Amino acid sequence: MGVMRIGHVNIKVMDMEAAVRHYVRVLGMKEVMRDADGNVYLKCWDEWDKYSLILTESDQAGLLHVAYKVENDADLDVFRQRIDAYGVVTEMLPAGALPAVARQLVFALPSGHEMRLYAQKEQVGTDVGSLNPDPWPDDVQGAAVHWLDHCLLMCELNPEAGVNRVADNTAFMRQCLDFHLGEQVMAGPGHAIQAATFLFRSSTPHDIAFVGGPSNGLHHIAFFLDDWADVLKSADVVAKNRARLEVAPTRHGLTRGTTVYFFDPSGNRNETFAGLGYLAQPDRPVTTWTDDEIGRAIFFHSGELHEGFSTVYT
């Protein structure tokens, strides 16, 4: 029983065709379908479920919902009981409320972000198949990302007002959904304020992360690549396509991952993230960073924060 991994994200974009071009040409995703409302569904080449990204046209960018896949349909009922008991309102959407997806459990995190859980989505297979497969497909474009890896959500943090949605979300995820805390950033006097958390259910350092800021929002969605060379190539692809590069290839101290950050045409931040960093396991001691070392925690090479990285989000 339990949450297995991130399933998909539904983000808002202001120019649909520009967004589709970006996620196809830069990331290397494939468009799999469009629905009657004009939403576009895409998948990465190494994913077997039908889609992992939903684009919805809007007058602003940002997150509509993030969904995680659970192991069994019965898990949804168990989680609903837990979440209801926690005092959070839930709704069960019927099969078909999203294309190719069975019933979904919908609720809001303490930060207000919409999260969904589901157990079944139509499987279409990876682009190399499951019988004697090649290591990669020949027709993949751009950075050729393998799969949607994680998302990072900005959460309101105002210690003077007694508001810490990072801590609230973290407690909820651990108590209700059995997520494990891999790393955290502690800030303020005595390093007593939980300012950022990185949580996992799989073996990657984080399947979701929460970082404190002045308001709630979406910081980035991240896609997995094999190694450092692939991260360098993804930066080349960003430049070739004239996408907006934010952070050149570097390494995180947090999670140890190698990374590059850039934006889609609507301003949603993307990351290509390579390497597992370390084997995340429930009994691994929590790694703690303090705010006086936050530069090295985020950008280990330079030890300096990039302007706008913690303040610009959708």
Residues that are catalytic:
150, 206, 220, 252, 261, 271
CB 126 within 8 A of CB 133: yes
Burial grade of 48 (CB within 10 A; 0-12, 13-18, 19 or more): middle
CB 157 within 8 A of CB 166: yes
Structure tokens at 56: 């919805």
CB 12 within 8 A of CB 64: yes
CB 41 within 8 A of CB 51: yes
Q: How many CA atoms lie within 13 A of 86 on its CB side?
A: 22
- Report d(CA 148, CA 271) in Å as an integer: 10
Q: CA-CA distances (angstroms) from residue 235 to 26, 44, 51, 246? A: 9, 18, 24, 10
CB 246 within 8 A of CB 307: no
Q: Where are the beta strands (DSSP E) in the chain?
A: 3-13, 30-34, 40-43, 53-57, 62-70, 90-93, 104-108, 114-118, 147-158, 163-164, 180-187, 193-200, 208-213, 217-225, 244-251, 258-263, 269-274, 287-290
What DSSP state is assigned to residue 306? P
Burial grade of 74 (CB within 10 A; 0-12, 13-18, 19 or more): exposed
CB 210 within 8 A of CB 156: no
SS3 75: helix
Burial grade of 138 (CB within 10 A; 0-12, 13-18, 19 or more): exposed
